[in-house]
Amino acid sequence: MPALMNIDPRQQDLKSAMRTHRREIIDLLRRETPVRAALVMEEAGWPREWACHTIRQIEIEQNPANLAHGPVLNQKMRDRLQLQVACGAGLFSLCLLADIGFLFAGRIAIPPLVGLVAGLGMWLKAAPELKRYPDRRLPVYTPPKDQRGHNPGQY
């Protein structure tokens, strides 16, 4: 990784920097998440725009983490499963509170019992599947809101 530290953005453009340091970046992506790799590249002297663009392009084209469905579909599946886990846990806890309230009132209500079972089912179905999809969000460059100090042409 020492070659990654030697980038001088004033003397290179983005394409030549990507060609020169592609192998080191792929090795970095095998060890780190894409967001962490972008931070390491920034610390090494890469501009944030270049680091985000390079990581995104290499991650999508070459899939260095060997994800079965590719990085984009993998992250979509993970986000969907995280939503299912959160909704299932929320539905379960909400219906559990409603059931306890009805029991203290001396009644039994069917809709909260159905919600309790449905929430528990959603939670228990999605939680084990979530382990198959690692969290590897791609870094996204957002330009600063104050444009006075931002000049992409200086890179």
User: Digits of tens for pLDDT over the chain (155 positions)?
Assistant: 445 555 665 657 788 888 888 899 999 999 999 999 999 988 888 888 888 999 999 999 998 888 888 898 999 999 999 999 999 999 999 999 998 988 888 888 888 889 999 999 999 999 999 999 988 888 888 877 766 665 555 44
Q: Token pair for residue 26?
A: 């792929």
Q: How far apart are CA 152 and CA 76, in angstroms?
A: 31
Q: Report which residue type is found at 47.
A: P
Who contacts 4 (Cβ-Cβ below 8 Å, separation ≥6)?
A: 21, 24, 25, 28, 40, 41, 44
> What's the whole-model pTM score?
0.74
